Structure 1
Amino acid sequence: MTNTLSDLLERAAGHTVHVVRGITDDQLAGPTPCAEYDVRALVDHLFQVVVNFQRLAAKKDADFSDLPRFVGHGDWRSDFGAQARALTEAWAVPGADEGTTGAMDMPAALVGRMALGDLVVHGWDLARATEQPYAPDPLTVTEVTTAFSQLAPTARSMGMFGEERPLPGGEAEVSGLDRLLALTGREAGWTRP
């Protein structure tokens, strides 16, 4: 098993696409662990991520200013799968993870891991919100945790991450996913109200 960025993205996308395909129409207005998003808005946000991070892989600027409305138009579940596949392909292009990218002028490898993190963390958000199982690849979780540890102070100051949560249970019993969730300000035991 290889572990290039595109391989990690492919594995993460597989889990998240499965969750998105399992969302029923009657769940779209439900809450998520991201208080600012209901299920519909969070799926729209993930569409925005997979589309814009394709542009960033190609060293083009991306526009995150307006949240598009994908959900409810056409076969949006299959469209999400196609866009997630295109994201993986974009980061598989030789040189995509080299140099800097986007208006943020950040290292491309770190930017690609930001997309990876959105797939993993928001995949968990959607799975919890819609009561679906979710077990991302542990190596992928480790990659995201390493990248997000570097980004956390800036992400918190920009309101993208909440304050880091205490780890549940004893240190030895905590999963890698629980560590990642705590880092991003999420409560690992979150359930729908």
Structure 2
Amino acid sequence: MTNQAPPRIADLLHTAAAQAAPLVEGIDDASLGAPTPCSAYDVRALLNHLFAVVVNFQALAAKQDADFSETPDRVGEDGWRDRFGAEAGKLVAAWAAPGAEEGTTGAMGLPARTVGSMVLLDLTVHAWDLARATGRAFEPDPAVVAGLVDEVERMAPMARKMSVFAEAVELSEGATAFERLLATTGRDPRV
């Protein structure tokens, strides 16, 4: 039995972006002040955070420095919904470039694949946050969830120490893989 190589981050990002972009484009202005499962963010702030992540992780794919010191208000700009889809496309292209998943990247010198998994997680989980905040359903592609499970389990203790994840939520045995992933990040998929 041979070990199959994991899917490329770019392929998983392509799938995740194809689901997240229409969700973002469908958010109406009346929902921008709504609370999200990320207690630090309302919909507008979470959209701006996700924009910043998508843009900065393009640089990280190219082994360049990223600047997370500011979160510009892109939602205040005309055409932000279409621009999100364009930036998500650039993110996919950046991670599809030769060498993007190799070596290390970022200020912490993390393995590039781990960094790629971080942006994949943000794109997936924050799409769920936004869907939940705006009263819509969201279920990511099972391949994306499968591509995240091991990496999220591995990064969870450090993410909790850094207050990126809340404490894990206990779920019943019948929980789906995505519900378990959400619970690992501190989100309760049942509420």
Report if TM-score (shorter chain) is over 0.5. yes
Q: What is the alpha-carbon distance in structure 2 between the residues aligned to residue 98 and residue 163 of structure 1?
A: 31
1:165 is displaced (CA, Å) by: 0.4
Code of the residue aligned with 1:150 in structure 2: it is R
Partner residue, 2:166? 162
Hey, what does 1:131 align to over in structure 2?
135
Amino acid at match of 1:125: D
Q: Which deviations, in whole Å up to 9, do the C-alpha atoms of 1:25-83 show, x marking residues without a partner?
A: 00000000000000000000000000000000000111112121100201000000000
After the TM superposition, which parts of structure 1 deviate over 6 Å for at least 4 consecutive aligned residues? Answer: none
**Aligned residue identity for 1:180:** L
1:97 equivalent to 2:101? Answer: yes
Matched, 1:151 2:155: yes
CA distance in 2, matches of 1:104, 1:145: 22
TM-score by length of 2: 0.95
Residue in 2 that maps onto 1:187: 188
Q: For residue 76 of structure 2, give the secondary structure of its aligned residue in structure 1.
A: coil
State the Cα distance separating 1:18 from its structure 2 match: 1.4
Q: TM-score with structure 1 length normalisation?
A: 0.94
Aligned-residue Cα RMSD (Å) equals 1.1
- Out of 90-99 and 143-152, give the one that drifted further: 143-152
d(CA) in 1 for partners of 2:155, 2:8: 20
On the 8 A contact 2:7/2:147 being kept in 1, the answer is: no
Query: Where in structure 1 are there 5+ consecutive unaligned residues?
Result: none
Pairs within 5 Å for 1:67-82: 67-82=71-86
Q: Equivalents in 2 of 1:37, 1:161: separation in Å? A: 14
CA positional deviation for 1:102: 1.3
Shift in Å, 1:3: 3.1
% of aligned pairs identical? 53
SS in 2 for 1:135: coil
3-state SS of 1:71 partner: helix
Q: Is the deviation greater in 74-83 or in 135-144?
A: 135-144
Q: By how many angstroms is 1:101 displaced? A: 0.4
Per the TM alignment, residue 189 of structure 1 is displaced from its structure 2 partner at its CA by 1.9
Q: Which runs of 5+ in 2 are unaligned?
A: 1-5
| Distance in 1 of aligned mates of 2:153 and 2:7 | 20
Counterpart position of 1:122: 126
Report the Cα distance in structure 2 between the residues aligned to 1:14 and 1:161, rounded to whole angstroms.
Answer: 25
Amino acid at match of 2:189: A
Partner in structure 2 of residue 175 of structure 1: 176
Whether 1:84 and 2:88 are equivalent positions in the alignment is yes
Q: Which amino acid aligns with 1:34?
A: C
Alignment: residue pair count: 186
| Structure 2 residue corresponding to 1:28, chosen from 32, 53, 62 | 32
- Structure 1 counterpart of 2:52, from 35, 40, 48: 48
